[in-house]
Every structure is written in structure tokens, then in C-alpha cells.
Structure 1
């Protein structure tokens, strides 16, 4: 929750700060965010690999310290041209910390099958609180945004130091030599399918974060009403997730069913906003998106973890996270190209069909456990 609050305080105001305060173009702001995303993705991969090959808690300490140093310097010197450099440093540390915490959760899942659900729920509470506070803090002083975020990561570091148990001595004593050698070919195929699922989900989800705003304003719906959609979505996730996840058994087949139903729910959200200028249709659409998140995005890490062992959990979780990052990076670009080339309705109908095709492939997932 604290990590996501640290992210949520900074990211919503980044473009606004670069363009309106630092007086850089939107193109420069876009490139800055691209560099941040690239640094975070690289940090994610590094974090996953180091979690598997090194010690877990020191990795979290180092990444959290990198983040706090970057944010502390941003608090003191939030100016160009050091701003994008420090933002990249923050992104790299954030990627490593996210990967190591996700990998830690993956290791603990053998003791608590519901841990990914709880983590996702807490993360949404943190993100919802932070996005609400972000604009308020920014209106006072940008340095308050960076300073508050640094304090949140310091608190997270304190919790890691005082409450996280070391798992290094508990890892399996297997003798696998490399990532590819430890996995059966069927398992690699299933991991690839789940990674592709993450890419497709996020490429399409990003339409809600970017191009849907254009569609709504073109149809006379205000920007304020568009922003309210995400407040509604966050409230729905926090309120509904504890009840929805209890409807499914904590088994492989239960997680598989959740992913399939989640993808179908995502698909319906795009069908709902075809050929409409009614606000209630967009509200219903974001509700379906929220349910899709609860079902699919909490179950995919659990399914990925099912195909892992204690020597590669970090790497496999990092691949899943990286797939989501790739989807988020490509989403606005691919969506903009489709909408410009065809239309909003054709784009959303295509997204609906792609999700249906994806479901057919997800039905092929099997509870295959290789012998190590």
C-alpha cells in the first residue's frame, strides 16, 4: 500500500509539472515518461533476477534507499535538466523494489493462498488515497509531493526491516543451472500465454486511461465526469474484491476460471461504449473493468507462481510485471493508431474480438507440474 501511495502521489502530476511549471513541451513530457517507464521495466527485470540469485531483504533495502535518495534530491532540486535524470533513478529503484516485493509475496503464497488478492486490494487503497492527495499537495508545492513520497518509502523500508522475515535459508536446495533449463517446454508455453494475456489486457485497458477521454469529450461529456470514472472504479475494487474472490476456490482451476471470466468481463466493457454518448454506459463500462481487474489481474500472478519453484519465482513474477509494463507503454500508441486509421467503434469492436480469441487460448492452460 505504501509503495503504491508513493507512486500515486507523483505520477498523476508528472506531465502537468513538466509542461505547466517547467515549461517543456508535451513531447518532452512524453519522452520523460518513456524514460521513466523504461528504467522501471529494466529495474523490474534486474530485481527479479537478483531476488532469485541473491539475498531478498538486502535487495529491498538497496532499492528503497535508491528511491529515497532520488526523491530527496527531487525535493531539493525539482528543476530541469536534473529532473528527468532523478525520475529515471526513481523508476529504476521502484522497478527493483516492486519486483522484490512481488517475488516475496510469490514465495509466501505457499503459506497463504490469498496473499496476492490481499496485496492487490491494499495496493488499490494506497493508489486511491494518493491520487486524491496528489492534486492537493501539488497545488501547495511540488516539493511537498516528492517529500511526502520519500517519507512513505522510508516507512515502507522500516516495515521491511522490522517485519519481513528472511526467506533466503528457506529456499529449495535445487541445483537448477538456468531459467530455461529449470522449466519444461509446456510450462514455458503457459508462462508465455499468461504474459501475452497481461500485454493484451493492458494495451486495451490503456484506452480507458487515454483515448476514452477524447471520445467522451467529443460527445459533450466533461473532463470532470471522465475523471470521476476512476474514482468510481477504485471504490468498486476496494468494496467488491473481498467478496468476489471468495466465490472461487484457491486452486489452479479456480484461478484459471477467474482469469477467463476476467478477460470476458474486460471484453464486455468495450462493447458497452460502442456507439454511445450516454454517461451511464461509460459508468457501466468502468464497472466491468473493475470486475475484470479483480478477477484477472489478481489471479495471473498466482497462476504464474504455480509454474515456478523457489529458484525462479522472482524471474517469473518479473516477466509478468514486465508484460504489464509493455502493454501500458504500447496501449496509447496502438489505440491512437487504430482510432486514427478507422474509428472509435471499430477499435473497441476489435478489442472485444481479441479478448474472445484470447479466452480460447486460455482454455488450454493445464495444471502441469514439471519434475525438477
Structure 2
């Protein structure tokens, strides 16, 4: 394990530690939001759901804004603004029990958290371009480790006082800010805007050929190919959106459905313990799958989409806990293949100076799925009942497979378009 850890550059290791601490702090808040609004602030569960939707909407906006600021302000300034904002909001949450203030501060918490996602992913690509999926997978695992730690810590802090969950978040975000300052020294993170940076041949490694100046002499050729690259990113984003819509059924419809089957909340929560443990301990299994079964990023996404569909099919055929356990196992394997692969490909398709914006859009897609997924699932459950919902979601997952399968055709078209345009000039 120590050898594997040391195989990453120091800047990536610091970034992973920062991701763990940031995710731990945020997870001190989100598992208890519904309980806090209902039990402490005295509001209904429907109102709590509405506030959570506002939180996810703000996360979506934060993802897009974070990517834009990353490209315009520079890396360190964006990181500092996001963490300082998160600290101020967390302290405010700890000192208020006014519902009106809470409904303003919680979306702001989502906004600043959303800023962090594209920054972390874009930094990975810039600090370690040759790392590819490996670097982004490191951050993905780190965020899940932090989420698991924070969810456990939240219960302990809340037993003292709900205010301490917010203050704990603030303290951890201060630690994140300190790590980012260390990272700026370790990785020589510039303070100026990314747009002022002139990419070197080394920084262009890992980018798709359509963005390499060596093969694109004319501005018109670059413009033509990038317009097609957006279509490829669009199909990737659509596939990711579908996967997230399916994924959130586990946190919404399924939690209620399992209780009607006599499965307790404790047993339900153990499924998420399985999810976190598999993400952490199942990395050797995923590495074997990537080496022997799904060697390309496209193959990984296709397999992951099929696993999402299979997990829903398993649910359609079971009403016992062992079946839910098996479905969660399959879903987690799919998640481990899809979640890191999409931002990796997005980074490869990003023109120099647009890394943050592209990663912000990818993060926004995930948040959009978390927003619309609960509503879609609830409506489908009412109309189709449980088994019909699972069949529908299994079929829906195949749309993601199609999107992941066709995006490369637009890259091939871009290469042909570029060649023809360059010949004309």
C-alpha cells in the first residue's frame, strides 16, 4: 500500500489528502440535513426535500462557476475563494436556528462545495497530465473515504450539538485551505489566469489530437474540430446524467421501498457501508478489470453502464435483503468504472485554458441528475410500481451505454474535418 501511495507525485498526494478532508467536512452536514430541518427547525419532510433540491441546484451553479473561475482567476485564487466561502457559511449555519437564514445558507454551502469539484478534477489533469484515469481515480476514492468518515463523525458531533457538525465542517475547511497553500508551493501553482499561460508540448500530452498545435496550423481548423468535440462531450454528459438518475434511486425511492418489505434503516445503511468499503478495498479488482477486460476508457464506461442496468434487473427480481446486497455490489462496480472515466475523457477533450470550464460542466451534469432523479423515480414508482420502475431504469441505463458508445464517432469526424480544413489552407 505504501509503495502504491508513493507512486503518485507529491502534489497529487497532497491533493488527495485535501479531498479527503474537504469531503469529510461536507459529510458532517449533508446526512443530517433532513433530520435537522424536521426535528430541530420543526418543518415537514416535504419542506426538507425542497431545501435539499435548492442545495443541489446551487451545487450545479457552483460547478459551472467554479470551472469558469478556474480558467479566469487562476487555480489558487479560486481554491482560496471556495474554501473561505465554505468556512464562513458553515460558521453561519452553526450560529443560527432561524429557518429563513438556514434556507439561504444551505444553498450557499452547496454552491461553494460545487466550486471545488471542477477545481480538483482540473488540477489533477494539469499537475499530472500523464496520470490520466489514475489521477482522477485517486481523487474519486479520496472523496468517498472522506464521505464515509464524515458520515460517521456527523452522528458523534450531533449527539453533542447539531451546531458542532457545522463548526466541525468549518474547522476542516480551514485545514483544506492550509493544504492548498502547501500544494501551491509543491506544485508551483501560478496565481495568474490560466488564459495567460502558453501551453508547452509537455502540457499538451494527453489532449486529443484535435487540440494539438503541431497538427492544427490554422485557427479555422481548430475551431471546426472543437465544435465537434462539444458534441462528443454532449453524449458523454448525457450518459453520465442517465447514470446519476439511476444511482439516486438508491437514496430516495429504494430507502422507502425497502422499509415496506420489512428491511430496517440499519440494514439499508449497511448497503452504503458496502459501497464505501468496496470503493476503497476493491481498487485491485477494478485494476484487474481494466487490465484484462475493459482496457480503454470507452470500454470501461460501456461495461459500467451495463452494470448499472444489471443492478436494476437484480432489484426487479428480488424482495429479500441478499438481493439488495448483490444489486448494490454490482452498482458500485459500475460506479467505479464510470465516475472517474467521464472526467478523464473530458480532460482529454478540453482545449488548453478551458480545463476548469469543462470539468465544471461535468460536475453540473452530476448535480442535475441528483436534482431530477428523485422526482422521476417517485413518479415512475407511483405509475409503474416497484418492479416496473426497476425495469424502466434497467432499460434507461442502456441509453447511457449508447451515449458512451457513440461519442468516439464525433472525435473521428473531428480528425477528418481537421485534415480537410488544413489541406485547404
Q: TM-score, normalised by structure 2?
A: 0.81
Give the match for residue 164 of structure 2: 144
Conservation of the 8 A alpha-carbon contact between 2:59 and 2:364:
no
Deviation at 1:241, TM superposition (A): 2.1
Q: Give the whole-Å Cα distance in 2 for the aligned partners of 1:284 and 1:133.
A: 27
Please list every run of 5 or more consecutive structure 2 residues that lacks an aligned counterpart in the other structure: 1-19, 201-212
Conservation of the 8 A alpha-carbon contact between 1:198 and 1:324:
yes
Q: Give the whole-Å Cα distance in 1 for the aligned partners of 2:70 and 2:228.
A: 24
Q: Give the whole-Å Cα distance in 1 for the aligned partners of 2:284 and 2:82.
A: 31
Deviation at 1:112, TM superposition (A): 1.9
Q: Give the whole-Å Cα distance in 1 for the aligned partners of 2:278 and 2:311.
A: 15
Deviation at 1:75, TM superposition (A): 2.0
Q: Relative to structure 2, which stretch is displaced further, 33-42 or 119-128?
A: 33-42
Secondary structure of the residue that 1:365 maps to in structure 2? helix
Alignment partner of 1:155 is 2:175 = yes
Matches within 5 A, 1:258-297: 258-297=300-339
Secondary structure of the residue that 2:170 maps to in structure 1? helix
1:179-238: CA deviation from partner (whole Å, max 9, x where unpaired): x95853331111001101111001111111111122211112112111111111111111
Q: Give the whole-Å Cα distance in 2 for the aligned partners of 1:360 and 1:90.
A: 35
Matches within 5 A, 1:169-188: 172=199, 181=223, 184-188=226-230
Question: What's the C-alpha RMSD, in Å, of the aligned pairs?
Answer: 2.4
Deviation at 1:30, TM superposition (A): 1.8
Give the match for residue 254 of structure 2: 212
Q: Give the whole-Å Cα distance in 2 for the aligned partners of 1:302 and 1:152.
A: 28
Conservation of the 8 A alpha-carbon contact between 2:275 and 2:329:
yes
Secondary structure of the residue that 2:350 maps to in structure 1? coil
Conservation of the 8 A alpha-carbon contact between 1:197 and 1:358:
yes
Give the match for residue 341 of structure 2: 299
Larger radius of gyration: 2
Conservation of the 8 A alpha-carbon contact between 1:304 and 1:317:
yes
Please list every run of 5 or more consecutive structure 1 residues that lacks an aligned counterpart in the other structure: none
Conservation of the 8 A alpha-carbon contact between 2:240 and 2:400:
no
1:59-80: CA deviation from partner (whole Å, max 9, x where unpaired): 1101110111111122222432
Conservation of the 8 A alpha-carbon contact between 1:78 and 1:143:
no
Q: TM-score, normalised by structure 1?
A: 0.92
Q: Which runs of 4+ in 1 moved over 6 A?
A: 173-177
Q: Give the whole-Å Cα distance in 1 for the aligned partners of 2:218 and 2:67.
A: 16
Secondary structure of the residue that 1:276 maps to in structure 2? coil
Query: 1:327 aligned to 369, 373, 379, which one?
Result: 369
Matches within 5 A, 1:1-372: 1-113=20-132, 114-164=134-184, 165=187, 166-167=189-190, 168=194, 172=199, 181=223, 184-245=226-287, 247-248=289-290, 254-366=296-408, 368=412
Conservation of the 8 A alpha-carbon contact between 1:176 and 1:182:
no
Q: Give the whole-Å Cα distance in 2 for the aligned partners of 1:171 and 1:233.
A: 42
Cα 1:242–1:161 shift into 2, 3 Å: farther
